[in-house]
Structure formats: C-alpha cells, structure tokens
Amino acid sequence: MSGLKARIADLLPELRELRRDLHAHPEIAFQEERTGNLVARHLEALGVEVHRMAKTGVVGVLRNGEGSAIGLRADLDALAIEEATGLPYASRNSGRMHACGHDGHIAMLLGAARCLVERRRFRGTVVLIFQPAEENEGGGRVMVEEGLFERFPVDAVFGLHNWPGLPVGRFAARPGPMMASYDVFEIVICGRGAHAAMPQHGVDPVVAAAQVVSALQTLVSRNVDPLRAAVVSVTQMQAGDTWNVIPATATLRGTARSLDPAVQGLVEEGIGRVAEHVCAALGAECSVSYQRRYPPTVNTEAETRRAWAAASEVMGPDAVDRDPSPSMGAEDFAFMLRQRPGCYAFLGNGVAEEGRNLHSPLYDFNDDALPVGIAYWLKLVEGPASPG
C-alpha cells in the first residue's frame, strides 16, 4: 500500500492540473467532445485499447492475462449552471459548470488507469467506462442500449460519486437501494376560459391546479408506508397570461422519487387518480403523463462487500459507513446495475461550507479526495490483499 500511496502522491500535481483543466472546460450532456477526446488521448498514451460509443463516451480496455473482468465507471458531463466560485480555474464556458464533481471522477479514473498500467498487479480485464450525459439525459442507458456489456463483458461494475457533507477519506455504501428512481410527470388541466369578473361562466383550471397540488401531498403522507421513502414535488405551475381572464388550461409538472418498485407504482397510480378526481370534482378535465426516467440504483450484496473491503484497505475500517441512508437523488448508473452486479458508493468530498453542495453554483470538487478515490479503484481491481 505504501508504494501505491507514494506513486499516487507523485502523480498528484499532474492529476490536480488535469482536474482543474476539465473544470475550466465543462460540457453538458452528449456535447462532451473536448472532454471525451481528452480522456481518449490520455488512455491511448497509456497503451490502453480505446473505443468510442454513445456519441461522446469512451471505453478503455486493459487486459492482463486470463481472469475475471471488472468495469469501473466515471461520468463526463457538466451542468447548465453559471459558475459563481470565482476560482482561477472556474468555467470558461458561460452557463456551463462542473457543479457535480464529474471533473474529479474523470481525473480519479484516469489516475487509476495509469497506476493499473504501471503496476500490472491484476489478472484479467479492466473496462474503464467514461459515460456521457449522466445528468437528465441517461447516457448510462444509452451505453447499455448500444451494447456496452455485450461488447465489453464484465462480471461486476462499480461506480462512485463524491459526497459533500462526508469528510474526505470516508466512504459510504450499502447493499440494496443507494439512490432513488427518477420519474417525471405532467398534468394538463382543461377548464373553460371566462371573464375573471364572471367566474360563473367558466371552469377555473387555476383553482383546480392549486387543489391538485395540495391533494398530491397526501400521496406520500397518507398512502405510502411511513417507513418507506418517496418524494412527490410539483416544480412547475403554469397558467394564464393576464389579470382579468380565467384561462382555459393550467399545466403542472414535477418529479417523483422512490426506492422500490412497489412504492413507485403506487405513486404513479396515485398521481393519475388524484389529478383526475380532484379535477372532476371541480368540473374540469385533465390528462396526465408519467414517465419513468431512471430506475433506483440498487447495489448487490457481494459486490458491496468487495467495495467495503477495498475502501477499508485504503481508508481504514472505521472510515467505511456500511449503512448510510440512501439518497433520494438519482443516478443513471442504475441502468448498468440492472445488467450486471455491482456497487455504487459515496466518497467523502469534505464537510462543505453552506451552499457548496452538489449542483450549487459555489460547488467545487475537493482535490484532496483524488488520491483516496484512485487508491480505492486500485484496491477494487487488485483485491484488498494485493501488495503495496
């Protein structure tokens, strides 16, 4: 371990530069051309076999004789956010920002690739998966649909995400659900437009929309088992154009999250039922569309144990939280975990100052986590008992 730690420390200034260069040049979903090309160039320079898929995605294959195959995954994309950190390496692309730390994830996996190539202390195949479009667009799903695991078979696949609020050098993963499903819904309420001073001539969709929003709050509080998790958030409410007209329609949009299929089904059914009947009670009609975007991210037991063992070797057994609360955020790594056993883990990004959370304009990846993440990837591949 000490040899590995020393080597990672040697590489750190270069990797920090790389991370900050990525941070300065963020690109959003399926537009990660510079990012993908940079990753491909780095892998080629290491002699790793490089493939391109899912538009801007990159897959590196590293072979060392016969043995099992393991997939390690990082995400490439940034968010549509205007950065407000004022850092010297802040985004140079207006309205784009690495506010989720994917710049750090890329640097860690490239650092791990370099150490794996130099050390060659594993048998079998390592598939380095750099996927595009984690945010919103499901690049992980696209990779799976394009045959990621048929072209590059693995026995297990692993992902990690930096986690603000968790101190650097700490690690958290649990078997079972780790992140929630991500669904979206739209409710279009049709009433009848009228003069605002003569509501008796119309059917007011604004009042119906307000009551639908209130009634939807009962799904989680009254229908879902209190010991199971779900979220229903209405995030958009649009109706009308002026002061003195009752509009004909109102539109609600939002998102639903849950950790298991039964709750997901209950929430989906409930949104339709509540919207339809509340509207009917008020003489309005509605149409509801509900779209399941990302399934829950569910870790398998054996691979979670393997992740714990690797993290314990790097950080010490006390630094590993084996029963963290799942997050109600979502992750398209879920699509890879539906195809192969694996584990998605949180890696401490430090106890953030107020507001410096994921997706905040003040967020920055913590470079102190780079060596921890790299050592974790190495131990995961080489096995916890591998020599330093």
Of residues 122 and 294, the one with the C-beta less far from Ni ion? 294
Least CB distance to Ni ion at residue 370 (A): 16
**Please, where are the H alpha helices in 219-369?**
261-281, 301-315, 333-339
Residue type, 161: H
CB of 250 to Ni ion, least distance (A): 33
Query: Rule CB under 5 A: is residue 370 a binding residue for Ni ion?
Result: no
Chain position whose Cβ is nearest to Ni ion: 100
Site for Ni ion in 186-215 (CB under 5 A): none
Residue type, 165: G
- Closer to Ni ion by Cβ: residue 74 or 148: 74
Q: Is 100 in the site for Ni ion (CB under 5 A)?
A: yes
| Sole window of 44-52, 54-62, 92-100, 221-229 interacting with Ni ion (rule: CB under 5 A) | 92-100
> CB neighbours of 25 closer than 8 A, spacing ≥ 6?
34, 35, 91, 92, 93
Contact 27, 103 (CB under 8 A): no
Residue 102 CB, shortest distance to Ni ion, in Å, is 6
- For the bound state, the minimum distance from the C-beta of residue 99 to Ni ion, rounded and expressed in Å, comes to 9
Structural tokens at position 131: 């996927």
Q: Please, what is the Cα angle at 245 between 239 and 249, to 5 degrees?
A: 35
Place of tokens 């949104």: 271
Q: Which x/- pattern, by CB under 5 A, does the window 45-84 give for Ni ion?
A: ----------------------------------------
Whether 183 and 296 have beta carbons less than 8 Å apart is answered as no
Q: Does 115 bind Ni ion (CB under 5 A)?
A: no
| Element housing 294 (H / E) | strand 285-294
Binding mask 210-249 for Ni ion (x = CB under 5 A): ----------------------------------------
Q: Residues binding Ni ion: what is the number (CB under 5 A)?
A: 1
The C-alpha angle with vertex 103 and arms to 97 and 109, in degrees rounded to 5, equals 165
The neighbouring-strand residues paired with 57 are: 53
Residue nearer to Ni ion on the CB measure, 100 or 178: 100
Which stretches of the chain bind Ni ion, using CB under 5 A?
100
